[in-house]
Structure 1
Amino acid sequence: MFQVKDLAGWGEPASKLIEVLRSGLGAWYRPTGIRREAAAQADATRLLGRAELDVEKARLVEIAALQAEVERQKLLPSPNTLQERAALRLQLQEVRKQANLEAIAESAASQMPETASSEPVDEDWKTRFFKFAEDVSSADMQEIWGKVLAGEVARPGSYSLRALDVLRALSRTEAEAFQRFRYLCMDQGWVIKLARPEDHKEFGMSMHDLLALREAGLVVDSEVLSVKINVPDAPPNPDDSPLRYNGKVVVMRHRKSGSITLSLAVLQLTQVGMQLMRLVEPLPNMAYLRKLASGLLPVRLFVGNPGDTFDAFQEL
C-alpha cells in the first residue's frame, strides 16, 4: 500500500486510476473530478503543463464538435440511403457510449480511496469492464459501476470477472432488492432467518425478491443452510462474538445456566454476492435485530459498538 504524492501533485491512487481510464477511454483522458480537486491545490498551468492543457483543450473541442454534429444530423432530413442511416445510427451509439463511460469515470474518481495497492489491474478485467460499462446509462447504475472501478483499481481482485457478468445482467429492481438484503446481512454474508418466513417481507425482502436474487446468482439457492454459534450464560466478551452486523457487534447470552450451541437457519450470499455487498453502504437495521431477538427465546441479544465493553451494550 502506498500514500506517497507524486511530483505533479496527484495522489498515486488517482494516478493509477487515470492510467486505467486511459487504456479504456484513450490516452488523453483525465477525469474532471480529479482535475477540480487538484486545481484547489495548485495552479492549473503548473499542474498540467502547457502541453497537457493544449491536449485537453483539443479533446474538449473534438468532443464538442462531435456532439454538435450529432445534434445537427438530428435536425436534417432523414438519410436517404441505408448506408447513411447506418452511419448516423453508429455515430449516435458511439457518442452515447462515450458519455456513459465518462460518467462512470467521473464517479470512480470521486470514490477513490486515499491508498491503493501497487498491483496492476488485470488487462482482461479492464477489457471486460469497459466493454460492459459503455452500455450503462442509468445514473444510479453508473454510480455502482464507478464504485466497482474505484475498488478494483485500489485493490485488484476485489471484483471477479464473474462479478462483472452478474452486475451487467442486474436490473435496477434486482439491485434495489439486493440493497435491502444487504441491510439484513451479517458481515459474514448471511442473513439469520426470522421465526416466520413472512416476517422478512416487513423488512423489504419478499419471497419474490429472494427468488430473483437467487436467479441472479447473488444468494445461494438452498433453504437448508445453517450456522452454529456457542452461546455462554456468563457475560460474554464482545471481542469473541462471531456476529458483526453493519458496523455493530451483536452478542448472545443464554437465559439459563450453562452454555448452549445454537443452530440458526440462514440465507447465504454467493461468492459474487459477497464481492458486490461491498458496493452497499453498511447500515444497521435495528428493527430487524429486535425482531430477531424476539424469536430467539433461549437467548438474550445485545448490540454495541466495536471496542466497547459488554456493560455498554444494549439489550434488544
Structure 2
Amino acid sequence: MNKITPASGQQRLLKLARYHLGTPVTNNTAEAVDEPAEVSDHAPGNAKLQQLAARSGAPEPGTALTLGQRVTRRLQMQRERQQQNLEKIMALALEYCPERVSAQEIDPDWFSQYCELVLNISNDNMQQLWAKILAGEIATPGRFSLKTLQILQQMSHKEAQSLQLAASLSCRSRQEQSGRIYFGYIRKPSLWQLLTGRSMALLNLSQFGLSYPQILNLVDIGILHNVEIESGELQPGQSFSWQFQSQTLNCVALKRGVVLQYYKYTVVGTELLPLLNSPTHSGYLSALQQQLASVLQFK
C-alpha cells in the first residue's frame, strides 16, 4: 500500500510545473496568442481560408515578408499556440487535483511524454479530458499507460463523442472492473426454446445514440475489443450487480442456459471510462431491464 503524504495534488502539480517547465502554473498562466477573429460557419469559403492562412502564419495580403520571415513567423505562432495549450491544460488540472495523493512521485518520463502529446490539443473538451488524466496520474502514479495517452492523442473530436455515447451505456461489475456494454442474451437449445421460439433477445444500440459504425470505430482505435463477448452460462439463483455511474443494478438469474452478450472495453478504454462522467442513458437502462426481464430478476 502506498504511503500518504500531507501534500495536496495541487502542490504536487505546481512542483512538477516549476521543475519541468520552468514556470509556475496558475489559472491565468497562459497568455493569449494573437489569433485571427473567428469566422462564422456560414461565412464564404474564402473568409475561412483567410482565417486558416492567418493561423498558419501566412501574412495578410500586401504585407512584404520574405519566405524566411514567413517561416519564422509561422513557427513562432505554432510554438506560442502549443505553449498556450500546455499551460491551459496544466491550469485546468489544478481544478481536478485531489487534496491527498500517493507519496510516490510521478514518473518524469511519463510526464515528459504527456507534455509533448498535449501541445496540439486545442479543443476545450479534449483539454478537460487531458487535465483529468494528469490529475489522476498525480493522485495515483501508474494509473494511465503511455499507450492510453498515445491513443487519446490520435483520437478525433468525433471519435471522442462516440466514446462519450458509449460511456452513457456502460457499466462495471464487482467481479470484473473492465467496462461493458450489455446488449442482449442467448439461451442454449432447450424444449422451452422449441415451444416458444425464443432463443435470444438483442437490443439495437443505435436507438440510444450509439450506431454500429461508431462501435466499429471504437474497435479500430483500440477502445473496445473486436469481438462480441459472452458471459459464462448463468445458473438459477446466481446473483450479481452492475454499476451504472451512481446507480447500482442488482440481478438474480432466473433460468438455466442463459448467456449474456456485451461489448468489452480494452485496458485503454477501461482507463479512460471513469474520466468521462457521462450520465447513464435512462432509456437504455429501462430497455435493457425490459429485454432481460424473462431471464433476470432486477432488485
* Length-normalised TM-score, structure 1: 0.72
1:193 is aligned to 2:150:
no
Out of 24, 28, 33, the residue aligned to residue 29 of structure 1 is 24
The Cα offsets for residues 8-52 of structure 1, whole Å up to 9 and x where unpaired, read as: xxx53211111222344x32222237xxxxxxxxxxxxxxxxxxx
Distance 2:111 2:210 in 1: 34
1:2 is aligned to 2:4:
yes
Name the residue aligned to 1:269. 265
Distance 1:15 1:2 in 2: 14
Equivalent residues, number: 256
Distance 2:253 2:73 in 1: 71
Distance 1:139 1:205 in 2: 23
Out of 281, 286, 289, the residue aligned to residue 290 of structure 1 is 286
Q: Is the 8 A contact 1:214 1:221 kept in 2?
A: yes
Name the residue aligned to 1:221. 226
Distance 2:246 2:297 in 1: 16
The Cα offsets for residues 125-169 of structure 1, whole Å up to 9 and x where unpaired, read as: 111111110101111111111111111111111111000111001
Which deviates further from its counterpart, 173-182 or 186-195? 186-195
* Closer, same or farther: CA 161–273 of 1 in aligned 2, 3 Å: same
Distance 2:89 2:77 in 1: 19
Q: How do 1:249-260 and structure 2 match up within 5 A?
A: 249-255=248-254, 260=256
Name the residue aligned to 1:95. 80
Name the residue aligned to 2:148. 163
Q: Give secondary structure in 1 for the equivalent of 2:4.
A: coil
Q: Is the 8 A contact 1:227 1:264 kept in 2?
A: yes
Q: Give secondary structure in 2 for the equivalent of 1:185.
A: coil
The Cα offsets for residues 107-129 of structure 1, whole Å up to 9 and x where unpaired, read as: 10111112211111112211111
Distance 2:23 2:150 in 1: 28
Q: Given residue 124 of structure 2, which amino acid in structure 1 is its aligned partner?
A: A
Distance 1:159 1:3 in 2: 21
Q: Is the 8 A contact 1:182 1:280 kept in 2?
A: yes
Q: Is the 8 A contact 1:252 1:299 kept in 2?
A: no
Name the residue aligned to 2:133. 148
The Cα offsets for residues 61-90 of structure 1, whole Å up to 9 and x where unpaired, read as: xx68x869x99x968963532221111111
Q: Given residue 251 of structure 2, which amino acid in structure 1 is its aligned partner?
A: M
Q: Is the 8 A contact 1:2 1:12 kept in 2?
A: no
Out of 174, 177, 186, the residue aligned to residue 162 of structure 2 is 177
**Shift, 1:285, TM fit:** 2.8
Q: Is the 8 A contact 2:180 2:263 kept in 1?
A: yes
Query: Bigger relative contact order, structure 1 or 2, given CA contacts below 8 A and separation 6+?
Result: 2
Distance 1:105 1:181 in 2: 27
Structure 1 regions of 5+ residues with no counterpart?
A: 5-10, 34-58, 303-312
Distance 1:299 1:128 in 2: 48
Distance 1:89 1:82 in 2: 11
Q: Given residue 226 of structure 1, which amino acid in structure 2 is its aligned partner?
A: E
Q: Is the 8 A contact 1:111 1:150 kept in 2?
A: yes
Q: Is the 8 A contact 1:232 1:252 kept in 2?
A: no
Distance 1:289 1:83 in 2: 60
* Length-normalised TM-score, structure 2: 0.76
Q: Give secondary structure in 2 for the equivalent of 1:32.
A: coil
Higher helix share: 1
Q: Given residue 139 of structure 1, which amino acid in structure 2 is its aligned partner?
A: D
Name the residue aligned to 1:241. 240
Name the residue aligned to 1:80. 65
Q: Is the 8 A contact 1:121 1:153 kept in 2?
A: yes
The Cα offsets for residues 177-209 of structure 1, whole Å up to 9 and x where unpaired, read as: 111111111123111113335x20111110111
Q: Give secondary structure in 1 for the equivalent of 2:141.
A: coil
